[in-house]
């Protein structure tokens, strides 16, 4: 019997994955589009976006973005860390002190002038975790 909801292996998806694996840079969707188009001129930009999402949802690649598409702002300009809830998207400050040794670690890289770092944790916040238990109870 044919399974429902499975993932097909298409020329386009293969090409996108190949392009991504063939570069050390961390390209944007549009860069990938331009590359894939060289081999497959009729590929659609929608296809690129759709597949990049599908691939990252299946853990084959990863998307580098700050949760939502739009920026968020923080009145505290000093370095501190955040927790981002995967469920509700809430961003919270962590009390954890900034780790000075992290910068030093990276300073070992020759030629790189490290000015700072950013650390975020993601997972489920207490609020959403609570709602989840409610769901199981029903």
Rounded Cα distance, 13 and 55, in Å? 9
Check binding of 100 to a second copy (CB under 8 A): no
- Does 49 contact DNA by CB under 7 A? yes
Report, in Å, the least distance between residue 41 CB and a second copy: 21
Residue 39 is encoded by which pair of tokens? 């081999």
Rule CB under 7 A: say whether 12 interacts with DNA. yes
> Per CB under 7 A, does 53 bind DNA?
yes
The whole-angstrom separation of Cα 40 and Cα 100 is 48
Does residue 34 bind DNA (CB under 7 A)?
Answer: no
* Among 17, 27, 50, 83, interactor with DNA by CB under 7 A: 50
Footprint on residues 106-125 left by a second copy (CB under 8 A)? 106, 109-125
* Residue 61 interacts with, from DNA, a second copy, none (CB under 5-8 Å by kind): a second copy
What span, in angstroms and rounded, lies between the C-alpha atoms of 24 and 29? 15
Question: b/e for 78-101, b at 16 or more Cβ within 10 A?
Answer: eeebbbbbeeeeebeeeeeeeeee
| Least spacing, CB of residue 112 vs DNA, in Å | 26
| Contact between 2 and DNA per CB under 7 A | yes
Instruction: Choose the contact partner of 50 out of a second copy, DNA, none; CB within 5 to 8 A by kind.
Output: DNA
State in angstroms the smallest separation of the CB of 3 from a second copy. 23
């Amino acid at each position: 019997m044919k399974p429902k909801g499975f993932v097909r292996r298409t020329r386009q998806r293969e090409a996108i994955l190949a392009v991504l694996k063939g570069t050390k840079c961390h390209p944007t969707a549009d860069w990938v589009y331009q590359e894939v188009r060289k081999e497959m001129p009729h590929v659609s930009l929608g296809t690129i976006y759709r597949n990049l999402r599908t691939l990252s949802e299946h853990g084959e690649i990863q998307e580098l973005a700050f949760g939502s598409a739009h920026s968020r702002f923080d009145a505290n300009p000093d370095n501190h860390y955040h927790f981002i809830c995967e469920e509700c998207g809430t961003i919270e400050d962590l009390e954890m002190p900034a780790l000075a040794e992290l910068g030093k670690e990276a300073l070992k890289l020759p030629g790189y002038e490290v000015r700072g770092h950013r650390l975020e944790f993601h997972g489920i916040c207490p609020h959403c975790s609570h709602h989840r238990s409610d769901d199981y109870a029903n």
